[in-house]
Every structure is written in structure tokens, then in C-alpha cells.
Amino acid sequence: MRKFLLLRFDAPLMSFGAPAVDEIRDTMMSFPATSMLAGLLANALGYSHEEVQKIHLLQDRIRFAVKCEREGEVIEDFQTVDLEADYMAEGLAWTTWGKVIKRAGGAAKKTIVRKRRYLADAVFLIAITLEPGDKNPTIEEVAQRIQKPVRPLFIGRKSCLPAGPMFAGVVEAADFEDALSSAKPIEERRRKPSRVCWRLSITPEGPIPEYIRPVCDRRDFENQVHVGQRFMVGFSLKRNDT
């Protein structure tokens, strides 16, 4: 039996990130990246951006599975910012810990265009375990901080605030399937589930499953680039109330 932290991502908008192409910032539809979960947990624990070693160690320990309880739809937000505007001269920005900082950015004075894609009106249940489980932070410590985070939490981007508490419990279970099945489902009127759940696999084991996706979902937080390749493997719950 292992301990699993259950998180419920329920928000008007969320973003799971995806490879950026030109001005388009996409989002994955079926599951978040390990790097996103590492950033979320690190934010709750109060890690700073400079503590890259601690974030990397946390990222390396994360194993997770995802159940989509309500399929959302992808929407695109067209955004521009005029870097020649007077109020942009100092490059100031607010942080989630309540301080104003200067953003270095590029020297070019121009209008930046971005197309950012979001998942709208979706709900996901995430089961997370840490390996090894006896190192700090433990699942219990992370669960405590998710309920009382050091800084505000968001789902992918700072504009994606949760509609309610993310914490959905800590359970002991034999595997991800049992952990996901143990959670109380969302209201019936809101349910619109996907038939496939996903779990992280370091390497594919045995026969190649019907649903498998290679992902580059780990981040080198020091150099701000994504690295490596692992796999998300699809599976169905035997006991699925949604």
C-alpha cells in the first residue's frame, strides 16, 4: 500500500502547457506535465525560483495519474503588449509573494503578440505519490501545504485560479486505479468524463498499450528548458462513478 495525494483541478480556465510554436502557446488537453505539478507543489511549499536543486529533486520523485471528470474545450486568447508604453519602461511585475520585481526581458521596443490557449470548464482528478516516500517532503507535508500554501496556487498560468480547494484527500491504496476510484465524484450534472485515464510511466512495460503518448514533461528549471522523454499510458477504471 502506498499513500497518494488527491488533487482536484476545477477552474474556469486552466493550462497544462505544450510546445510553443512561434507566437502560439498551446495547452495539452488530457493531462498536466510533471514539471507543472513540480512547480505547483514547490509553490505551495514556498520554494523560490533560485532553489532549482530542491525543485529538481521534487520533480524526480513525482509519479502521478489523471482522471478527467469533465472534458472541457480549448479556447484561444489573443494578447498583445506594447513594450514602448511609458508604464512598461521599468519592466515591473507583481509576484505571487506580494512583491514588485523588475523583469529583464529583451531590449527590443515593440508590440508583442501572443495566442494563449486554455482549457475552459474542465475538471481533473490527480493522484500523486512520491518515490521514495520516506524522504522530505513527505506526502503528508505536501498535503498540509496544499491546504495552507505559502503562496497562492494557480493551475498552469497565474491567471488560472482554482474555483475551489484543490485538496481532495490523502489515501492509502494499492495502485493509482484504487486511489482515483476512492475519491468522491463531482456533481452528476457536471460530469462529462473521458473514457481514458492516464498515468506516468518512466519506460513502457510489457506489450505496447492501446493508448500511449511520449511526452517531454520534465523541466530544467535552471536553464528554463524542457528535457528528456517519458510516457503517459492510458487505462480505464474498473470502478468509475463518473
pLDDT at 221: 85
The DSSP letter of residue 149 is: -
Query: 19 preceded by cis ω (within 30°)?
Result: no
Burial pattern 140-170, b for ≥16 Cβ within 10 A else e, equals eebbbbbeebebebbbbbeebebeeebbbeb
CB atoms within 10 A of CB 90: 10
CATH topology of domain 2-76+119-235: Alpha-Beta Plaits (3.30.70)
- Please tell me whether residue 21 adopts helix, strand or coil conformation: strand
Neighbours of 39 (CB within 10 A): 22
- For residues 129 and 5, the answer to whether their CB atoms sit within 8 Å is yes
CA distance 31 to 119: 11
Predicted confidence (pLDDT) per residue in 10-54, tens digit = 999 999 877 676 777 777 778 999 999 999 999 999 998 889 999
Q: What is the model's pLDDT at position 57?
A: 95
List, for the chain, all residue ranges whose pLDDT scores fall below the cut of 50.
242
| Nine-digit cell string for 44 | 505551495
